[in-house]
Structure formats: structure tokens, C-alpha cells
Structure 1
Amino acid sequence: MATKLLANLIIMGSGIVGRAVLQAYRKALENANKTGVAHETVQNIRRAGKAMTEQEARQILGISEQSTWEEILQKYDILFERNAKHGSFYLQSKVHRAKECLESVYQWKGDGKH
């Protein structure tokens, strides 16, 4: 008898908690739509999914279109190490992605990077 009562209480309690969570989620979405946060979040997600452009990669590394692959590697090493020691993981990952982007560009141009 006690087991059955306990099971009913658990089921009833989980239903109440579930409805409360759903209601809170709906309210959070409503508030996000009112303030524009939802739209901004969707835009950031879309932006994050796009590949880095060659121009953006050059800006991150601070190099020009005339830079050699060796110059790019030097700049990469400096910025990557600086952010590993005193910077942020986010900036370090941006530097790495910039190098990857330019690596494919220089490989395509056949500028002998290896």
C-alpha cells in the first residue's frame, strides 16, 4: 500500500514539475522575443556556422595578401603562443582557424608551404 502511494506521489510530483518547467521555458521564450535576444541568438548561431573568409583570416593574423606562407606561420606562432599564455582560448581558436583557412588558400595557389 505504501509503495503504491509513493509511486502515485512521484508520478503526480513529476507531472507538476514538468508543467512548471514547460511554463517557465515558454515564458523565457516570450521574454526573449520581446527583447530581441532570441533573434540575436539565432543570428549568432547562423554566423558561427559560416566558414571564415580569407579576408577575415588575414585580419585576424594581421597580414597582407602579399605575405608569404613563412610570414603567416611566424605570425601564427606568435599569436597562438601569446594567447596560450596570457590570452583566451577563444582568441587562440580564432588564430588557429585563420591559419587553417589560409593554409587551404596557399595550398590551392601552390605556393609551396611545406
Structure 2
Amino acid sequence: MAARLLANLIVMGGSVMGRAMLQAYRKAIVNANQTGAAQEAINGIRRASKVMTEQEARQILGISEKSTWEEIVQKYDTMFERNAKNGSFYLQSKVHRAKECLEPLYQKPDVPN
């Protein structure tokens, strides 16, 4: 009889705690949405995972700020091919993203005739 009573008490206590935690979680989500904290966190994660800075791109390719576009392309081709043969896909993609990041800085705008 005492074991049954103890088991019922544990089950009831567990369900009360579970409901309280669920309510607290829901309230936290509502508060985060109201203050905009949730959206800021999501945007920060997206920015951090997708954007490569110019400095990081230069470090990956091993070039300086004074490098010409031809030097960048040469470094890119060398590093991309090395990683294609016996490197990693991750490094190869980083090299490609670095070139993509620097490309707009070196492109000359089209001049109409």
C-alpha cells in the first residue's frame, strides 16, 4: 500500500513539474517574440554562418590587400586544385567562398559607350 501511494505521488509530482516546465517554456518563447530577441538571435546565427569577411578571405587565400586580381585567381586555382586532388571538400569550399567574397572588390564597373 505504501509503495502504491509513493508511486502515485511520484507520477503526480512528475506531471505537475512537466506542465510547469512546459508553461515556462511557452512563456519564454512569447516573451522572446515580443521583445524581438528571438529574431535577433536567428539573424545573428544566419549572419555568422554565411558571411565571410574580406580579412578572412584574404587569410584563406594567403594574399595581402595590395594583391592584384590575377594573383588572387592564381592562388585560388592552385589551392582549389590541391584540395580537389587530395584535400578536403570543406577547405575547397572555403577557398571558393574566399574568391567569391573578394570578387566584387576587384570587378570594374561597366562603362557605357
How high is the TM-score relative to the length of structure 2?
A: 0.54
Task: Tell which structure's C-alpha radius of gyration is larger.
Answer: 2
- Residue type matched to 1:48 in 2? S
**How has the CA–CA distance of structure 1 residues 77 and 111 changed in structure 2, closer, same or farther, with 3 Å as cutoff?**
farther
Structure 1, unpaired ranges of 5+: 1-41
CA distance in 1, matches of 2:57, 2:99: 7
Aligned to 1:48: 49
Residue segments in structure 2 that go unaligned for 5+ positions in a row: 1-40
Divergent runs of 4+, >3 A:
none
Distance 1:111 1:75, change over 3 A: farther
Report how far residue 106 of structure 1 moved. Answer: 1.0
- Residues 1:58 and 1:111: Cα distance change in structure 2 (over 3 Å): farther
Q: Taking every aligned residue pair, what percent have the same amino acid on both sides?
A: 74
User: 1:12-51 residue pairs with structure 2 within 5 A?
Assistant: 46=45, 47-49=48-50, 51=51
* Corresponding residue of 1:97: 97
2:103 maps to amino acid: E
TM-aligned CA deviation for residue 111 of structure 1 = 8.6
**Change over 3 Å in CA distance of 1:56–1:103 after alignment to 2:** same
Partner of 1:67: 67
* Secondary structure of residue in 2 paired with 1:63: coil
Contact kept, 8 Å, 1:69 with 1:111, in 2: the verdict is: no
The DSSP-based 3-state class of the residue aligned with 1:65 is coil
Task: Provide the aligned C-alpha RMSD in A.
Answer: 2.5
Q: What CA deviation, in whole Å up to 9, does each residue of 1:51-105 have, x standing for no partner? A: 1111100000000000000000000000000000010000000000000000011
Kindly provide the amino acid, as one letter, of the partner of residue 95 in structure 2.
V
